[in-house]
Amino acid sequence: MTEAIRIAWFVLLIALVPSASAGAPTRPNILLLVAEDLSPRIGAFGDEVARTPNLDRLAAAGTRFTNVFTTAGVCAPSRAALILGRHQISTGTQHMRSRAGGYLAVPPADAKAFPERLRAAGYFTYQIGKLDYQFSGVQGGSGPSSIWDAEDDDAQWASRAPGQPFFGMVNYMVTHESGVMSPLGTWPHSATHLLMQVMQWFARQGFTDVVVPTDPQSVVLPPYYPDLPAVRTDLARHYDNVQIMDAQVGALLERLDQDGLADDTIVIWTTDHGDGLPRAKRDLYDSGLRVPMILRWPEQFRPDRFAPGAEDDRLVSFVDLTVALLAIAGVERPAGMHGRDFLAPEAPRREFVFASRDRIDDRMDRQRAVRDGRYKYIWSAFPDRPESDASDYRENQDGMRAMRAAYEAGELATDQRTWFEAPGEERLFDVQNDPHELRDVSGDPRFQDTLVRMREAHARFRERVEDLSEVPESSLAERYWPGGEQPVTADPTLAFSAGHAHVECETPGASLEIRTDQGPWRLYTHPVPVPIGTRVSARAIRYGFAGSAVVSETRPPDS
């Protein structure tokens, strides 16, 4: 894109978005960095095995949030909740993955991804890496097009118009569960394993020399893991991948500094859910839900209460992060979002966070979790279904295979067997005194008042948040894609009057984009002024639908 075109589009943004107009307060750039499948295995969070110098420096300059919880222990439902700011059970995005059920989720018409809301407010939005919202594909470029100005673009913030604030969401795959599987060069357990070996080889390129191999004997095994060589090796490999991710984050932060943008950019680093390890990923234990988060404010934007190096232990849900990101950009919390701005002055502390587990691949399940500062309550709709049976994908890890073989041979201790056995309908854990959630105290008379309180919190949550898992998934799929066919967004209508282009679409909830001549696509929010003879194109997309055709017209002299 030429500099002249960039400047012209920036002028158009000023006309379209009052909040970005001249004289408005400077708004920060925002970077949201998301590692995959990682619990707080970071030096700054107290892990003595981790080698994370870049994240440790980021934490020293920012605030560590130590009680952040995702709404699911697996990527696609968690990412759907984050991108929409709504619990996945209320938007039809709860099953892992919706594609396995033969459909894409179709969220409510008023549900919009928060980067699209930032884009509507004048931000340049871009992403690198994984999408996986349940109404998109997994990788960048799989839609919906209205959310991002650029996808998988190495130029990143350099592609924006001069002076335009940016929001970037960057994903780090190297810590993904697949990275725990034995690497390329070892015999794969399956075709899936081989594919993951290749993907992880690419994810590591350029950074393998940073790894100081982790001694398997140095890792600390939680009591639910048997002390087996394969288990230790997998965990050590996980720590090695964390080193690579840390270096990748460091490289991006260095580029930000070299471009002179560090003093204008809020950086948030977190992960999409807990460890990609057995009895963590896919589960509702803290090992699957609790994630580290670091927020670094530039001095000009930093509130006094967030001093560099500080720690904040309030309960934070991922749906709160969505609202906070919008607030940072000056965008009002939209109706329908379930979170709260935990960064606001004197923001009330949460009493509870909530999480859900539903179908995992081809295994139907339904669990709900409520956690406060001390206790965790888990309700199971399938009390006789062991949690360990939820994924064949996980069986590609050597440690998982070794654990299952030991269980089947009767060689596991009590704490190690529990995960392989039926959970029961209700469980209650005192996570303060039992951080690994191994002692179910729901039947202990001393905890009956707590059990009732947590059960009631779950009931109130169900009254407040619609749970679409009460509908059979086959019915949900038929609602979204009747007859198994993806619906198509209606073609937009394009008209001209008073020197402006007007775009409409009859599909409820459709997002609209517009461009002039061969310029970049921009989100349409208001009529756009265009000169006579300008070629204008428009397109529309409803989340979960196929996109419309592109409609083009040239502005005539008399319009």
Query: Is the residue at 225 inside a domain?
Result: yes
Residues 117 and 142 grouped into a single domain:
yes
Give 201's Cβ-side CA count (13 Å radius).
11
On whether the pTM is more than 0.85, the answer is yes
How high is the pLDDT of residue 143? 86
Query: Is the residue at 208 inside a domain?
Result: yes
Chosen domain end from 357, 388, 403: 357
Contact yes or no for 172/248 (Cβ under 8 A): yes
Residues 419 and 440 grouped into a single domain:
yes
How high is the pLDDT of residue 316? 98
Residue owning tokens 């909040």? 19
Query: Is the residue at 421 inside a domain?
Result: yes
Query: Is the residue at 280 inside a domain?
Result: yes
Query: Is the residue at 362 inside a domain?
Result: no
Pairing of strands 166-172, 124-128: parallel
Residue 271: which of 250, 241, 243, 294 has the closest Cα? 294
Q: Which residues contact 138 (CB under 8 A, 6 or more apart)?
A: 130, 131, 132
Tell me the C-alpha distance between 458 and 465, whole Å: 10
Chosen domain end from 295, 328, 357: 357
Which tokens go with 155?
Answer: 């130029």
Residues 459 and 542 grouped into a single domain:
no
Chosen domain end from 334, 357, 380: 357
Residues 343 and 453 grouped into a single domain:
no
Residues 123 and 248 grouped into a single domain:
yes
C-alpha distances out from residue 135 to 88, 107, 254, 519, Å: 12, 8, 34, 27
Residues 468 and 515 grouped into a single domain:
no
CATH number for the domain that contains residue 397: 3.30.1120
Tell me the C-alpha distance between 395 and 386, whole Å: 15
DSSP at 75 = H
Residues 139 and 280 grouped into a single domain:
yes
CATH number for the domain that contains residue 204: 3.40.720.10
Please list the pLDDT of the chain residue by residue as tens digits (559 residues): 444 444 344 444 444 444 433 333 489 999 999 999 999 999 999 999 999 999 999 999 999 999 999 999 999 999 999 999 999 999 999 999 999 999 999 999 999 999 999 999 999 999 999 999 999 999 888 989 999 999 988 889 999 999 999 999 999 999 999 999 999 999 999 999 999 999 999 999 999 999 999 999 999 999 999 999 999 999 999 999 999 999 999 999 999 999 999 999 999 999 999 999 999 999 999 999 999 999 999 999 998 888 899 999 999 999 999 999 999 999 999 999 999 999 998 889 999 999 999 999 999 999 999 999 999 999 999 999 999 998 999 999 999 999 999 999 999 999 999 999 999 999 999 999 999 999 999 999 999 999 999 999 999 999 999 999 999 999 999 999 999 999 999 999 999 999 999 999 999 999 999 999 989 999 999 999 999 999 999 999 999 999 999 999 999 998 7
How high is the pLDDT of residue 149? 96
Residues 330 and 456 grouped into a single domain:
no
How high is the pLDDT of residue 346? 85
Residues 330 and 373 grouped into a single domain:
no
Asked if 75 is an active-site residue, the reply is yes
Residues 263 and 286 grouped into a single domain:
yes
Burial (CB count <10 Å: 0-12, 13-18, 19+), residue 307: exposed
Query: Is the residue at 511 inside a domain?
Result: yes
User: How big is the chain, counted in residues?
Assistant: 559
Residues 173 and 109 grouped into a single domain:
yes
Contact yes or no for 548/492 (Cβ under 8 A): yes
- Catalytic residue (choose from 55, 59, 75, 321): 75
The domain in which residue 195 lies consists of: 3-357
Q: Which residues contact 386 (CB under 8 A, 6 or more apart)?
A: 419, 420, 421, 422, 423
The number of distinct structural domains making up the chain is: 3
Question: Phi, psi at residue 460, to the nearest 5°?
Answer: -65, -40
Query: Is the residue at 151 inside a domain?
Result: yes
CATH number for the domain that contains residue 549: 2.60.40.10
What stretches of 100-207 adopt beta strand conformation (E)? Answer: 124-128, 150-151, 166-172
Residue 151: which of 121, 129, 118 has the closest Cα? 129
Query: Is the residue at 559 inside a domain?
Result: no
DSSP at 409 = T
Which neighbouring-strand residues pair with 370? 354, 377
Residues 147 and 245 grouped into a single domain:
yes
How high is the pLDDT of residue 537? 97
In one-letter notation, the amino acid at residue 514 is I
